[in-house]
Amino acid sequence: MNQGMLMVSALALAASLAAQDGAKALAPRLNAIYPELKDLYIDLHKNPELAFQEKRTAGVLAEGLKKLGFEVTTGVGGTGVVGLLKNGAGPVVMLRTELDGLPMEEKTGLPFASKATGIGSDGAPVPTAHACGHDLHMSAWFGTARLMAQSKGDWHGTLMLVGQPAEETVSGAAAMLKDGLFTRFPKPDFAISMHDDPSLPSGVIGYFPGYFRASSDSLEITIFGRGGHGAKPQTTVDPVLIAARSILVLQTLVSRENNPMDPAVVTVGAVHAGTVANIIPDQATLRISVRAFSPRVRKRLLAGIERQVKAEAMAASAPREPSIKTTSATDSVFNDPALTKRMVDSLQRGLGPDAVAEMPAQMTSEDFSQYGLAGVPAVLLHIGAVDPATLKAAEANGTVLPGPHSPQWAPNLEPTLKALVTAETLMLMDLMGRH
């Protein structure tokens, strides 16, 4: 081995040891603040707020950041929070968390289970719960802010903490960007975020380079007919029948028009039509979810849905074309391969190789995609949130455990929260450390 190779090996070994020492050094400080983070988690869990209604949540986080010395701006993109901690020349690194809960009733049985309500999309009160882990993400985000603020001698640059509203409606990221997130504030050199996961043991980090989370398009399609007496169908154009035929034919977009090697999903999640059995209604409404990784596949699916639904209406002599409205949409999350590798290497050094695992891409969606599309190298990682023994037993006997968006979802709190703070801090130190 020549002298140059020896020097490279020595530097790699030194970096590995430094990362491991860094993770060990974080433990006592993290243990010291854990009771505060647990209290924050319980408070956020008990008080969830729906998309763009997160005023209390944003206020709690903003006040906490101000006490740590961050420059804090609220109301970005509606209810978003931006905190800046400037520490000399260096990169700008963004760490994002989500603020909103879900319109559903919690059924975990936890002593601090949510009994909160929010205002649903129809204007009526609706039970609200943090059933996707955003309370966990926010608590870790604040814990990471605490550790970074305590360690300013170990890093340089600008730490940009973003509390994003309305992730569940995949509209908050776009709202913050439209409100000047990357123009009123420094545009980041890197953006990272993490999400809890029910398929991995507590504390294990999951990653996937490239397209990781699918695009999402929610459509509302109204099919128009000509109503009449249920006993005289020959005098009507039945929109329920057109809707039924459309539901069946839409599945051929995946089964017969799409390459099986390109993931795609078309789900009709809601059908609304009519009032009683003996009246054929004037119209029927379908609500459809469309998922894909490839922009090309996404475009083809959306065009195919329009073509198929209009064709079915024409075949039935409907009085007018169906109305097709997009109610929400976001793009695929693309994990920058170079940044993903750098973060994985850092986490493997700091946490050990068994604490980081490549995982499959997911058909679920996340509007974290918008930051990457705005020109920032970005990576979204997952973190296991299930007790290892529970997960192993479930895999052995084929039990399906609750996951995000289930009323029973509750992460294995202490090990997951501590691992999440440690992982975020290690990644930030890697990107902003004094090398």
Whether the CB-CB separation of 30 and 143 falls below 8 Å is answered with yes
Q: What is the pLDDT of residue 17?
A: 38
Whether the CB-CB separation of 156 and 86 falls below 8 Å is answered with no
Q: What is the pLDDT of residue 23?
A: 75
Whether 35 is in a domain gets the answer yes
Whether 202 is in a domain gets the answer yes
Please give the model's pTM, rounded to 2 decimal places: 0.91
Whether 399 is in a domain gets the answer yes
User: Do 209 and 219 fall within a single domain?
Assistant: no
Whether 13 is in a domain gets the answer no
User: Do 42 and 104 fall within a single domain?
Assistant: yes
- The domain of 416 spans 18-213+332-432
What CATH number should be reported for the domain holding residue 293? 3.30.70.360
Q: Which of 329, 356, 373 is the last residue of a domain?
A: 329
User: Do 35 and 179 fall within a single domain?
Assistant: yes
> How many domains does the chain divide into?
2
Q: Which of 306, 329, 352 is the last residue of a domain?
A: 329
Residue segments in the chain with a per-residue pLDDT below the cut of 50: 1, 3-19, 435
Annotate 383-422 with b (16+ C-beta within 10 A) or e (fewer).
bbbbbeeebeeeeeeeeebebbebeebbbbbebbbbbbbb
Q: Which of 329, 355, 373 is the last residue of a domain?
A: 329
Q: What is the pLDDT of residue 21?
A: 59
Give phi and psi for 114, each to the nearest 5. Answer: -70, 135
Q: What is the pLDDT of residue 20?
A: 52
What CATH number should be reported for the domain holding residue 380? 3.40.630.10
Q: What is the pLDDT of residue 7?
A: 41
Alpha carbons 79 and 123: distance in angstroms, whole number: 19
User: Do 292 and 337 fall within a single domain?
Assistant: no
User: Do 156 and 64 fall within a single domain?
Assistant: yes
User: Do 28 and 175 fall within a single domain?
Assistant: yes
User: Do 116 and 204 fall within a single domain?
Assistant: yes
Q: What is the pLDDT of residue 18?
A: 46
Q: What is the pLDDT of residue 385?
A: 98
